[in-house]
């Protein structure tokens, strides 16, 4: 089983999720998504696997959210996904992908349902 985690080492939830997986003997492909952000196409796929809308996956407390005017309700999904691809800090984390499914590690134990 290949498990990928879109990880930010500065995020406590992301670190806790990675630790949880490692403690269960699960080896992960760790993607530091701030350095290697997912493309818009990959974000669309992740959103589909998560069953979430782009706005639900956005970190609304980040400065970029306000600076880019992303609180504008008239923005469509394409614009929001493009913003996340260009400004990966806007992406909620961590995202774990396994078995053709994805889960957001909030709380970290939520990812166990896809393993």
CATH number for 1-33+93-115: choose from 3.40.30.10, 3.40.50.920, 3.40.50.300, 3.30.200.20: 3.40.30.10
Domain boundaries in the chain? Answer: 1-33+93-115, 38-91
Tell me if 46 sits within 8 A of 95, measured CB to CB: yes
Active site residues: 11
Which pTM value belongs to this model? 0.95
Pairing label, strands 101-104, 95-98:
antiparallel
Write down the CATH number for the domain with range 38-91.
Answer: 3.40.30.10
67-107, pLDDT tens digit by residue? 999 999 999 999 999 999 999 999 999 999 999 999 999 99
Q: What is the DSSP letter of 58?
A: B
- What is the enclosing helix (H) or strand (E) of 80? helix 77-86
């Amino acid at each position: 089983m290949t498990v990928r985690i879109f990880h930010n080492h500065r995020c406590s939830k992301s670190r806790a999720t990675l630790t949880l997986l490692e403690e269960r003997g699960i080896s992960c492909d760790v993607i530091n998504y701030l350095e290697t952000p997912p493309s818009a196409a990959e974000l669309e796929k992740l959103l589909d696997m998560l069953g979430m809308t782009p706005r639900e996956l956005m970190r609304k407390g980040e400065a970029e959210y306000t600076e880019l005017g992303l609180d504008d309700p008239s923005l469509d999904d394409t614009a929001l996904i493009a913003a996340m691809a260009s400004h990966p800090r806007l992406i909620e984390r961590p995202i774990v992908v396994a078995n053709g499914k994805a889960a957001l590690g909030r709380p970290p134990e939520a990812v166990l349902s896809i393993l």
